[in-house]
Amino acid sequence: MTTHEFHSDYYDSYEYHGNTAVEITRKQGGITVKRDWILFDSVQEALDFFYDNCND
C-alpha cells in the first residue's frame, strides 16, 4: 500500500508492504532527497501506524 502527502515544496510517500516497517520517501522537484524506515515490533503496530497516520 502506498499513500502520498503533498506540501508546497515537496511530497512524502509512505509505503507499507505487510511487514514490520513503513518506508517514508521524500521527493522535491522529482528528486528523492530522503528515504527512511520506521521499524515496529509487530506487523499489527506497523499496520495501525499506516492506517492512523498515513491515510489522512
Q: Mind listing the pLDDT tens digit for each residue in 10-52?
A: 888 889 988 999 999 999 988 999 999 999 999 999 999 888 8
For 51, other C-beta atoms within 10 Å of its C-beta total: 12
The better pLDDT of the pair 18, 3 is held by 18
The pLDDT of residue 2 is above 70? no
Give the start-to-end residue ranges of the domains of the chain: 2-53
Lookup: cell for 23: 518506508
User: What are the residues whose beta carbons fall under 8 Å from the beta carbon of 27, sequence distance 6 or more?
Assistant: 10, 11, 13, 33
The better pLDDT of the pair 7, 15 is held by 15
Residue 42 parent element (H or E)? none
Query: What is the reported pTM?
Result: 0.74
pLDDT given at position 4: 63
The DSSP secondary-structure symbol of 52 reads H
